[in-house]
Structures are given as C-alpha cells and as structure tokens.
Chain A
Amino acid sequence: MSLAEPAALPVAASVPPRLHIVARFTTRFKASLPAYLLLLPSLVFLALFTYGAMGRVLIDALYQRATPKAPLRFVGLDNIAAVLADPAFTGAVINNLIYAIGTAIPSIGLALLFALALARTNAVTSALRAALFLPVLIPMVAASALFLFIFLPNVGLLDYYIGRLLPVLPNWLGDPDIALYAIMIITIWKNAGYYMLFFLTGLQAVPEDVMEAAHLDGAGPLMRLRYIILPELKPTFLFVVVIATLNAVTQVDHVFVMTKGGPSNATNLVLFYIYQQAVEHYDIGMASAATLLTLAALMALTALSFRTMANREGGA
C-alpha cells in the first residue's frame, strides 16, 4: 500500500448552524461535486482492491471450521488468540524484528555514507551513483535468483573466493544459524542505493550559507557533519526509517525464491507465515487473523511516525 492513500479519505466536517444545515450541505456538496467526480475512479478501485480486501480480511478473521467438513462458524477472537499462541508466529515475529533492525541500520548507514561521499555532482560521482543505484533496478525475484547461485554451497561464487580461506565452507542458505543473515545481506545490498537517493535530496536542502559560515569559523568536516548536516537531515532520517521498516515487513520476495522460510523456519518472516497459513495450511481464518495483527502494527507505526513528523514541523 502506498503512504499517500490515507490522504484521500478525510472529509472536513465542521459543525454548521443548525437551521441551514441542509442548505449548507447542498451548497458544499455542489461545490465539491466535481472534485468527488474526479476522485470517483480512484475511489472505486481503492474501495474494491484496498479497503474491500481489508474488510474481507476482517470478516474472515472471525470465522473458523472445527473439522474439515464442518461449516464455518463465528469464533470471535479465537483465531487471533490461536495465532498469538502459535510458536511459528512468534518465531516469525522475532525473525522479522532481527531482520528489520539488521537491515534498516546497515542500509541506512551505508546510504548516508554513499550520499555524503557522492554529494557533489560531477562525472565520476554520477557514474558511481548510478552504479550504487543499480541494485534497486533489479527486481527482487531476479536478484534472489542471482544470489541463489552466489550462495551455492561449495561451487557458488562466494565459496569459490572465500573457500580458500575457510577450513569448512558454510552452507549459506542451508544452515539455520546463517540463513537469515544471508537473506539480510541481499536486502541491504538492494536497499542502500535506494535510501541514498533520499539522503542526496536531503543534502541539497542543507543551506549553503550556513555551511560556508561554519567553514569560515573553522569548523572541520566532522564538526560540520555533527552540528549542521545531521540535524538538517533529521526529517529524511525519519522518513527513511519508516520506509525501511515497512520494507522489512512487506518485501519477502527473496524468502519465497531462496528459502521458503527454511531451513527449519529460520528465515520465516511474518508475511511468509501468513502465506503459509493461507496456502499450505489452507486456513483462511488464521491467515486473516495474522494479517490483521500485521496491519495493526504497520498502521500504528505509520501513524506514530507521521505524528512525529507533524510535531517536528510544527514545533521545531
């Protein structure tokens, strides 16, 4: 889902004087009718494919079958309780937390580093920027297929080079202790270049005169970074952190292609757990309940970060 979607819904509802309520409503409605008409096509699709599906998930989450041939019956919050009690779900949540933190911090750090190094535009930095941005252009599925061969035990590219140094070659995707980290490397490789773009834009907004003044006052590069650049980049940081966290939950293409959540659930992430419940277990109730929990967490996170952003803009 895109971050812009919620903006389409809110309709201002101030309290008009009682007597004119109908008249006012009609005038207002007349005035905004063209706007609604213009919005109609997107609203229809939004309702059908986003909110319709979410409503359906909400309903599905409340029903369950006791046995395969039994009819669906209303179970209330039982599905949610069952999901929360499922060790596979808690395992997926923990994996997802490790994955989110372990991919967000390094990729944002690298992105900032790249952006600072390549802030000035000339032929060399443009070429390097393009090179660093390249992984973003490769679809995740294709990238995963590539990395599948890089990680191939014994004969893959990685083992071919590292193999001379290590006594025992790790089975990158086949060892539950390593597999999640192998998956994380791909995410970092793929996302760092993308986040770099945001930081590059953020750096453009750092006022040139302030930098110059600091330079004249004798502030070294580190001082300038610490006291001018980083504070100026704060909104960018916030935005990138939100994007990175959302990505950590919604981008699991490489799990599908490379490990299917294995070995022994070591790379099972929340979205893949939902897929397993829906498809492998064929348990729509459980899958919907897990989806609701994920949606709630994502919405809370988004709301929180938007509020922080709004506060900052208002207060600072």
Chain B
Amino acid sequence: MLFSRRLMLGLAMAGSMAGALAFPAMAEGPTEIDLFFPVPVDGKLARDMGTLIKEFNEGHPGIKATAVYTGSYDDTLIKTRASIKAGKPPSAVIMSANFLLDMQIENELTNLDSLIAADGSTKEKFLGQFFPALQGNAVIDRSVYGVPFHNSTPLLYINADKAKEAGLDPNKPPQTWAELTDWAKKLTKREGDKVTQWGIAIPCAYDYCGWMMETLTMSNGGRYYNEEFGGEVYYDTPSMLGALTWWSDLVYKHKVHTPGATPGPAVSTSFISGNAAMMMLSTGSLTYVRENAKFNYKVAFIPRNVRNAVPIGGASLIIPAGVEAEKQKAAWTLIKWMTSPEKSAWWSRATGYFAPNMAAYKTPDMVDFLNKNPDAKTAVEQLDVAKAWFATYKTVPVRKTLEDEVMLVLNGKKQPKEALVAAQKAADETLKPFNAETSLKLP
C-alpha cells in the first residue's frame, strides 16, 4: 500500500491500465459494482463489511457488489480520485464526510437528487430519515451528494475509579471548562516536578487536531468555518483564540496536559494504561475502550465554555461522477440498503459508530444493546447539539495550516494569538483561487 503511495504520480496511469485490463465490457448477467471502503479504526471492520456485502448480494440477484478495501480515509480519497481520472470510477464509495465539498467543487460527485426523485421521494423526506446534524455534510448547494453511513462525535472519557479516588463524583461529570480544569487539576499527580498521572489528554495529530480545535471552538461559541460557503475559515477570531488559549493553558499554566502534540492512539493508550485520567476522543473509540479498560469509565458530553456544541465526524456513501446509468441505479440500491434502519443498526453495533438513520434506534436489537451499554447512548444524545464538520475548498491543506500552528503552541514555541494570525493568513492564501472564482468574481 505504501509502495503505491510512493509511486503516487504513476498511480493514475497504472490505474487506468489496470482498469482497462480488469474490466472488459459486460454484456449480460448481474450488474457488477465496486464499493470502495476505508477502515479508519481497526481491522475487524473489513470482515464485517464482507458479511454485509455477502448478505446484500444474496438478496439482490440482479446486482453483484464487490467490497474493495482502500486503506484510511485519506487513501480512499486518493484511490477514488485516481480511478475517476482513469475513467473507471467505483460505483460507490464510503467517503470521509468532510471531503464531499472539495470533491463537489472538483466535479467528482454524482448529484443524487434525480435518483431520489426517481424513487418517488423528495429530498426532505429522504434526508428526514437521518439525524439533522448529519445533513450539513451531505447537502451542497441544496442538492444531496452523500448519504450518511457511520458517524461519530467527540466525547469526554473519564476514568471513574481515579475520579472517586480524587474525591470527585463520576456520576456528575464536569459540564463547563471551569469544572473540567478543576477536575484535571485534582486528577493530576506529581512527584516533585515530575507528573506521574496527567489530568487530561486531548489528541493533536494531522486530521484529529483540526477536529479537536473545531470541538473546542464550537463549545466556545465559534464556528471554525463558513458552513454555507467553502471559501472562508474563521481562525483569527475570539472564539478560536479562547479555545486555543485554554488548551495551551492546560499544558503550560495548569500543567495538567502533556506538552507537545499527541496522536489519537497515544491518547487512548495513555487513558487505558491509567497515565491520563480523562481524555477527549471520538465515539469511534468507545468499543476499544469498552474492551480494553480494566477500570470503570464514564463518558460525558464535551464540556462547554459558551455553549454545548460539537462537530460530527465519520463517513458518507457517495457515487463518484462518471458512473454509467445502470451502475448508478445498482449503487443507489446498495446505498439505500446499507443505510436502512436494520443494516445501519447492525453496523453501529459492530463498529461503535452511531447509526445515522434515526429509525435504527427503534429496532429491537438496538434497544437491547443500548440497555446493556448505556455509554453508547451518550454519543447519540449529544447529537442534539452536534453541527457539521468543517469542509472547505481544499479541506486538508486548509486544515493543516491551523494544525501546524496549534502544534507549535502546544510545544510552547508560539503564543496562541500569533499562531492564529499565521494560520489565518496561510489558509486565506490556499483559499484564494476558489474565492477568485466565486466570492470575488464580480460583474
């Protein structure tokens, strides 16, 4: 996999040749479609996907779907783009929800409105099945381009045993930044200058760091980006300044958070090993924590400073541009089947993501599951205050301009204000060509 990355530039060409060799024109028989799917969390998902697709094929003799594992979210975008360039796009892809806007700008997505209309449904009715928080990343310019498949929100995980030990009540988790700071201080253990147990851990690596900054900024009343238009981000704003200053204070003023940028897996390992007493991490890690924690844990909403608000994460099903009509129809059948309440609920239980289809939570199996695992309910409840995930023109580089600066702040090399000014400037530069074509293209 990494080898092909290394030969990235040859990939498009190689892809086209492989495609030309591998797919001779089909005459009769079932419509063959490919589904590209990433595995962002752990290896078990690939097997679950195999089970799901096998069941679909047995129930739909006219269609033969093949699930193609395509690596991480980022790899899946690369491979999808390479196959679109090669003229042989897959019929459906499970795509990171915040890549949709960028793909739509590059004309790489099929507008799903006509497929919805062909079913005799309406956009409103179709989208109405899903949690409202998920619609922002699926609808672009009032057209549907993606169908939410599995989603997440950030959560506060608390080591309940350590909380009790410190005289805190884990059943009344911190609800504000002030309370969280207080908890983190009480949960930090020191021997002289040396910290033996950290109060809180918040991940910061490319991708995760931007998501956590959006989380903190939103809980501080901010927006991070313009939800209606892909050419603007709000980095140099009071709400983000407050968010970054608080994060930096946890490290350098209160000394309850380890210095430097810590990636997600390091944060979860730190929490599981008892080295960090609290962490902010995706709901997607809930299954991992449930299976590995040797202590009692609690999950809670992300505390607020101004308001309770978090971004969503996760992936949507899309149909790339340039898929033939017949395959489009088959892919649409697959997509509707995969996002139906029963399948949605099954996938949610298998993976730990929450099911985007609201009716999934009314299926008997799901009701049972939630009764047995009440912690899985918190993520769903938090959806009431969830908002869309940042998506702009060139989402990844625009996000990276902020992440690079945040990492400098967490390493004590820059002050929050100057970091955000630099991030804003770099992001504006990246967004310039898009604005030149849209907001600044004047009559």
Contacts and interface: CB of A to CB of B under 8 A. Distances in A.
Given A155-B270, A279-B8, A175 B194 contact: no
Contact of B269 (A67, A152, A264): A152
A174 B411 CA distance: 8
B17 A154 contact: no
Interface stretch (A3-11, A49-57, A190-198): A49-57
B153 interface: no
Nearest to A261: B206
Given A67-B434, A176-B407, A282-B81, A154 B258 contact: yes
Interface string A176-209: 1100000000000000000000000000000000
A313 interface: no
Contact of B397 (A65, A140, A280): A280
A132 interface: no
A241 to B, nearest CB: 22
B260 A152 contact: no
Nearest to A287: B9
Contact of B193 (A56, A168, A250, A287): A168
B41 interface: no
Chain B interface residue bracket vs A:
35 or more
B9 A291 contact: yes
A155 to B, nearest CB: 5
Nearest to B10: A53
Contacts, number: 141
A102 interface: no
B6 A48 contact: no
Interface stretch (A20-28, A93-101, A223-231, A252-260): A252-260
A189 B259 CA distance: 27
Given A68-B106, A279-B8, A279-B74, A263 B275 contact: no
A137 interface: no
A256 B2 CA distance: 8
Contact of A155 (B275, B400, B430, B433): B275
Interface string A145-175: 0001100111100000000000110010111
In this complex, the member of B105, B405, B413 whose beta carbon has the largest number of chain A beta carbons within 10 angstroms is: B413
Nearest to A164: B194
A264 B8 contact: no
A152 B264 CA distance: 11
Nearest to B1: A141
Contact of B10 (A49, A276, A282): A49
In the A-B complex, the 6 residue pairs with the closest CB atoms: A171-B260, A174-B260, A263-B407, A53-B10, A67-B437, A174-B261
Interface of B: 2, 5-10, 13-14, 17, 74, 77-78, 81, 102, 105-107, 192-194, 198, 204-206, 258-263, 265-266, 269-270, 273, 275-276, 393-394, 396-397, 400, 403-405, 407-408, 410-411, 413, 430, 433-434, 436-437
